[in-house]
Structure formats: C-alpha cells, structure tokens
C-alpha cells in the first residue's frame, strides 16, 4: 500500500469516526422514540468501501454497542421495551446488510480474478492455436519435401507438442469418424480421464447423450461451410461430460484442416464452471440486496442525471404512487416542493462533483396527488458500471412535526391556564368588592340616573366575572363525573332556558329526538354546558330569525347529537380555527373565544368527538358523538 493510499484510508477512517461519534451524541440527546440510530447506516456504507474485508463487521459491532448504549442514555419518551425491540430489529437489518454487501464484494473480486485468468488463458490459447496452425502448415509441406524437410517437420512437431501439452485449455483433435487423435494434459484434468484411455475412442464419450445428435449435425454443417475456424464462445455455452458422469459447462473454439483428402478437427475447450458459479453467487447477492431494499422501512430512491431510476415500495407509498411508472423516469425535482428546489439542486451538485455526503435535512415533497408531505432526507454518491448515481434515503416526519406542533399548542395552553388562574385570583377579589358596594348603593339611592349608573357597573362586573369563570373552566376543567345520562332531558332543559329569547328572536325550534335512543355515559352539568354553548352560538347566528334544529339518534355504539341553525354560516378558512382558544367572529365585547374550546375539551374528555359543517348564508351544523352507557 503506497503512502497516498494509506493517507486516503486514514482520512476516510477519521471521517467515519467523527460521523459515528456525532450520531451517537445525537442519539443520546434525542428522545428514545426517535430513530436517530438508523443514521449509523451512513458511515456503514462508507466503511463498505474499505479494502479490508473485516472492517464493515468491526463497524457493525461498534454500531450495535453504540445503539445499545445510546438507547440506555437517551431521554425516555416511549416504553423502553418497545425502543429495545425497534433497535434490535434495526441491528438485525444492519448485520444482514453488512453480510450481504461483503459477500457481494467478495463475489465481484472473485469474478474479476476469474476474468483475468480467462484473459490470460485466452492469450495462451491464441498462442497455442497459432503454433498449431504453424505446425499443421509445416506438416502439410513435409509430405512433399525431402528428408531435410522431414527433419524440420519433426522439430516443429516437437515444439507444437510442447505448446499443446502446456496449454491451460483442453485441446482435442478428432478425425472424420470423430475418433480422438490428440488429448492434451489439460484435457486429462478437465475430463478426469488419462490420454491413453481417450485416444482412439469416440468423442461422444465426453458429450452428454442428449447433445450427441446435435453435435454430429453441427460437425457436418461446419465441414460443409468452408470456414476454417470458429473463435472461442462462437458456439455458445455447451456441456461436457467427465469420466465420473458429471456434466459441466464449457466454451469451445473449433478449427478444421484437410490433409490428402482427409478432414481433421481440433477443438479447444475451456471449463467455465467456476465462472458460472461466481456469476450465480453474484446474482444471488444482488437478489438478496434487492429484497433487503424492498422491505426497508424507509423510502429509498436512486437517480442519475436528474432522472429517478429506482424507487422501492416504501418510496412509492411515500409519494402516493401505485406503480413504478408514476415515479421512475421522472425528474426528482418533480416531487420537490418549490420552496426547496434550489437548495436541493445545490446539494445535488455538491454530491455529484465533490462526492460530499449530505447530512439529514428536512424538506417537503409533493406527492402524485398534489398533497405535501414533510420528510427527512439523507443522500450519498456512488459509482458503478453505469456511472455516477445518487442514493437517497427518505423518512416521513409528518407525524413527528404534527406532534411537535401539538406539543407547542399544549405548552401554550398550559401557560394560558397559569395566566388565567393568576388573573382570576387577582381580579376576583376586587370585582366582588365592587359588585357588593354597587348593589349596596343601589338599595339606598333614589335618584334614577345614579341607580342607572350603578346598574351599569353591576352589569359590567358580572360580565367580567363570567369571562373569568370561562377562563377558569378552560384552564382548570374538572374531570367529568360520568354516569348514565338521559341526553334527551338535557336537551329539553337547555331549550327551556332559551325559550323566551328564542321567541323574541323569531327562531323556530325543531326537535328530532329518538325516543329509543339509549342513555349516554356523561357528566350532566358538563353536557348542559355543551348544549348551552351550542344553542347560544346558533341564536347569535340568527339575529333576524330562522330555525334551530336539534337531533339525537343512535350511531352504532355511540349516540349522535346534532345542533343546526339556518344562520349566516361560517367561511371555510374560519371553520379550521373555530375550536382554537380566543378565536371568535363576534364583535369586540360580545364573545371571549373560549366557548367552543371548552365544548371541544369536554367532549374529548368524554371519549367523544365534535365536528362542524358550515356554508356561508346557509347555516351551520355541529355533530357530537358520545359513547352510550353500557
């Protein structure tokens, strides 16, 4: 190994070490449920290029140790046994991948060696053929020359005999009757038969029975063709038969010569058993690698020259494709979100021209149906017989990002609860004092203007108290006391509360309550709060009158409650935000934006669900599903 090669190996080993340490640190710092340890595949792929065959196994062992230690040291966010099982499966895949790639490298090296040996043998065979042709020419001339020519022929024959016997390929010469006249040492080794037992015998002895008739026909055609020789491989792969009955594949070259009206045929045979075995092993290795890629839990793509040439099943599923034709052959930039195209092009140039490996990066892909998916991408350059290519490993992180957003929202709600509790404590006491003093003065003054002003104070203080109560209900909602509940009675009581206001606003009530509907498992007070909020929203949506429709029916193991109005409706972009805290479409001072947030929280605590459908100027329908009582 020269100095430059040693230096390159040292640099690559250092890079692998640094990358491995970085992956281990990342694994230790991230929660247990994150599959950061899968990144060990990246330095493993680099280590596969090492000239030392055992280096990948050493690295796989190191990665196994680091994965176990990283799992032990990582912050726990899932059950440790689940994480241990996931890491165990990943390590099995890593060891299988390492074993298959090392086997493939070994098979490729063996094939290269076999090919080199074949070329060397070809060179020697051509020299032997040239010598044989020279000897045959000398033999023909010797039949018409004097004793001096006979002497020269003898010397030439001796030289030819030496070349033939030292040839690595088997050389056989037969006459028109297909009887063996020449059987060199390589032929003895190939057919496991001494020359003394072969010479004088029919060549059929060395041809499997099912090929003998075809052999005779070929020899007749070759004799009539006028062609003097056919090169090695021109006959394709044929079968030979050893003395012990074993068949084996061979390549053959054949030539013919006519002496005094008699025709002789010389065949040069090459045993290609080892080469065929190496080719079968390579095919098996490639098939195992293909299967490993196909069952990979992550999406894998390969592209060359800005065209995707391969996508595994997970990759097709990630892009929402039902067949490879929807992806293979297209530009990878067809599936990159416009926001990321320039960055991806820049990284691709760095990979192709500089051989730089891209660290994991978060991007957004566009699926076949046009939807967008958040992904994490790792890419690496490779070179094979077809040239430079890029292998891309992609993982769907949409769920992780969604969970992060939910976590942020939960943190904001927790902060809001703390603020609400503090506000209620600080404001509640002075508000009670103000309310008490105002009511005390109202009972003692006679002047109407003063009483009107005091009434305004009382009204506004009550409004502030109501807002604070909603904040507290939102921030410190008590666990429901779930009992069998007749939801029909709750609906009727809630409608009764609004009876006067419904009549004043010219709102007609339509009840469609299934008398056979089973009771629900719910908290009566909280269900009353849900109904009051939904009915209040419906009344606000119909200032000029309309219809309020309340329905209740069985839905499998649930009870479905619907509250619908014929009011002004809600625009689609508003529907998406309707359950968010403090979001309201009402005028300032007429709503807190917490009513529907509280309703949604109550329903979800009851293991139920709430959905809304609305169309501007046509009305809104809220659908609530609650589990029925056992």
Average pLDDT, the chain: 79
CA nearest neighbour of 461 among 500, 505, 429, 415: 429
SS3 state of residue 399:
helix
CB of 143 closer than 8 Å to CB of 157: no
Do 179 and 159 form a contact (C-beta atoms < 8 A)?
A: no
The DSSP-derived string for 32-54 is TTS-GGGGGHHHHHHHTT-SSTT
**What pLDDT is recorded for position 7?**
66
Cα 179 versus chain centre, distance:
63
- N- to C-terminal Cα separation, the chain: 79
| Both structure tokens of 272 | 């290609």
C-alpha 389/C-alpha 92 separation (Å) is 27
Enter the tokens of residue 2.
């020269």
Q: Write down the pTM of the prediction.
A: 0.36
Q: Give the per-residue SS3 of 549-618.
A: EEEEEEECCEEEEEEEECCCCCCHHHHCCCCCCCCCCCCCCCCCCCHHHHHHHHHHHCCCEEEEEEECCC
Token representation of residue 317: 């599923």
Which has more confidence, 240 or 43? Answer: 240
Q: Percentage of the chain surpassing pLDDT 70?
A: 77
Cβ–Cβ under 8 Å, residues 269 and 240: yes
- Are 235 and 200 in contact by the 8 Å Cβ rule? The answer is no
- What is the DSSP secondary structure assignment for residue 477, as one 8-state letter? P
Q: What's the pLDDT tens digit per position in 93-146?
A: 778 777 877 777 777 777 776 677 677 767 777 776 776 676 566 656 555 555
- Could you give the CA distance from residue 254 to residue 372 in angstroms, rounded to a whole number? 65
What confidence score (pLDDT) does residue 523 get? 87
Q: Which residue has the higher pLDDT, 254 or 98?
A: 254
Q: What is residue 551's predicted lDDT score, i.e. its pLDDT?
A: 94
pLDDT at 458: 82
pLDDT band at 562 (very low <50, low <70, confident <90, very high): very high
CA distance 503 to 71: 66
Query: Are 523 and 473 a contacting pair, CB within 8 Å?
Result: no
SS3 letters across 85-154: HHHHHHHHHHHHHHHHHHHHHHHHHHHHHHHHHHHHHHHHHHHHHHHHHHHHHHHHHHCCCCHHHHHHHH
**Interval 330-353 mean pLDDT:** 86
What is the pLDDT at residue 391? Answer: 85
Q: What is the pLDDT of residue 384?
A: 77
Chain segment 475-523, per-residue pLDDT in tens: 555 566 789 999 999 999 888 878 888 888 899 999 999 888 899 999 8
Distance (Å, whole) CA 311 – CA 324: 7
pLDDT (tens digit per residue) in 207-235:
998 888 888 788 888 777 767 566 655 56
Q: For the chain, what is the largest distance between any 2 Cα atoms, rounded to a whole number of angstroms?
A: 163
Helix axes 3-29, 55-73, angle to 10 degrees: 20
Confidence label for 589 from pLDDT (cuts 50, 70 and 90)? very low
pLDDT band, residue 528 (cuts 50/70/90): confident
pLDDT band at 257 (very low <50, low <70, confident <90, very high): confident
Residue 327 CB coordination number (10 Å): 21
Looking at residues 302-326, what average pLDDT do you find? 87
Element at 26 (helix H, strand E): helix 3-29
* Beta-bridge partners for 389: 382
Predicted confidence (pLDDT) at residue 388 exceeds the cutoff of 80: yes
Report which of 507, 600, 520 is spatially closest to residue 553, judged by C-alpha positions: 520
Cα of 316 vs its chain's centroid, Å:
8
Cα-Cα-Cα-Cα dihedral of 417, 420, 424, 425, to 10°? 70
Question: 27 pLDDT exceeds 50?
Answer: yes
Which of 603, 569, 601, 602 has the alpha carbon at shortest distance from 585?
Answer: 569
3-class secondary-structure state, position 628: strand
Cα–Cα distance for residue pair 37/30, rounded to 1 Å: 10
Three-state secondary structure string covering 285-321: HHHHHHHHHHCCCCEEEEEECCEEEEECHHHHHHCCC
């Amino acid at each position: 190994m020269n100095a430059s090669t040693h230096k390159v190996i040292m640099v690559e080993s250092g890079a692998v070490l640094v990358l491995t340490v970085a992956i281990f640190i990342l694994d230790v710092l991230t929660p247990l449920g994150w599959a950061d340890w899968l990144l060990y595949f990246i330095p493993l792929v680099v280590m596969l290029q090492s000239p030392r065959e055992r280096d990948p196994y050493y690295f796989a062992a190191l990665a196994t140790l680091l994965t176990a230690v990283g799992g032990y040291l990582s912050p726990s966010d899932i059950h440790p046994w689940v994480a241990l099982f996931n890491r165990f499966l990943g390590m099995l895949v890593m060891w299988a991948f390492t074993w298959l790639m090392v086997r493939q490298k070994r098979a490729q090296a063996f094939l290269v060696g076999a090919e080199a040996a074949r070329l060397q043998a070809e060179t020697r065979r051509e020299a032997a053929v040239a010598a044989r042709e020279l000897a045959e020419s000398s033999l023909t001339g010797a039949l018409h020359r004097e004793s001096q020519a006979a002497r020269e022929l003898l010397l030439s024959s001796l030289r030819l005999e030496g070349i033939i016997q030292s040839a690595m390929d088997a050389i056989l010469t037969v006459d028109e009757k297909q009887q063996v006249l020449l059987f060199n040492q390589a032929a003895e080794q190939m057919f496991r038969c001494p020359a003394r037992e072969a010479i004088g015998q029919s060549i059929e002895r060395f041809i499997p029975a099912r090929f003998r008739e075809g052999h005779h026909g070929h020899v007749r055609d070759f004799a009539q063709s006028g062609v003097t020789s056919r090169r090695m491989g021109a006959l394709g792969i044929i079968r030979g038969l050893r003395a012990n009955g074993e068949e084996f594949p061979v390549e053959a070259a054949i030539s013919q010569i006519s002496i005094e009206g008699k025709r002789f045929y010389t065949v040069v045979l090459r045993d290609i058993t080892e080469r065929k075995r190496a080719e079968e092993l390579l095919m098996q290795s490639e098939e195992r690698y293909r299967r490993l890629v196909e069952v990979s839990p992550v999406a894998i793509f390969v592209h060359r020259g800005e065209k995707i040439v391969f996508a595994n099943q997970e990759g097709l599923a990630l892009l929402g494709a039902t067949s490879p034709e929807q992806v293979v052959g297209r530009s990878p930039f067809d599936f990159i979100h416009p926001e990321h195209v320039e960055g991806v092009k820049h990284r691709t140039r760095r990979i192709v021209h500089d051989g730089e490996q891209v660290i994991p990066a978060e991007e957004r892909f566009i699926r076949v149906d046009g939807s967008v998916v958040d992904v994490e991408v790792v890419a690496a350059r490779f070179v094979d017989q077809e040239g430079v290519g890029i292998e891309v490993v992609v993982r769907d992180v949409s769920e992780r990002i969604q969970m992060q957003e939910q976590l942020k929202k939960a943190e904001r709600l927790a902060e809001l609860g703390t603020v609400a509790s503090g506000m209620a404590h600080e404001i509640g006491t002075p508000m009670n004092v103000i309310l008490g003093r105002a009511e005390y003065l109202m009972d003692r003054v006679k002047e109407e203007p003063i009483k009107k002003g005091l009434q305004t104070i009382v009204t506004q203080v009550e409004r502030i108290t109501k807002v604070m109560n909603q904040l507290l209900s939102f921030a410190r909602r008590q666990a429901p006391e779930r009992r069998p509940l007749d939801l029909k009675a709750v609906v009727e009581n809630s409608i009764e509360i609004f009876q006067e206001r419904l009549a004043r606003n010219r709102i007609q009530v339509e009840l469609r309550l299934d008398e056979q509907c089973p009771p629900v498992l719910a908290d009566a007070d909280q269900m009353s709060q849900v109904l009051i909020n939904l009915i209040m929203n419906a009344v606000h949506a119909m200032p000029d009158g309309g219809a309020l429709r309340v329905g209740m029916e069985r839905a499998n193991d649930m009870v479905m409650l619907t509250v619908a109005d014929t009011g002004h409706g809600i625009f689609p972009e508003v529907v998406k935000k309707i359950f968010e805290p403090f979001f309201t479409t009402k005028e300032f001072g007429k709503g807190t934006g917490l009513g529907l947030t509280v309703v949604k929280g109550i329903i979800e605590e009851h293991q139920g669900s709430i959905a809304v459908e609305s169309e501007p100027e046509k009305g809104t329908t809220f659908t609530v599903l609650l589990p029925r009582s056992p």
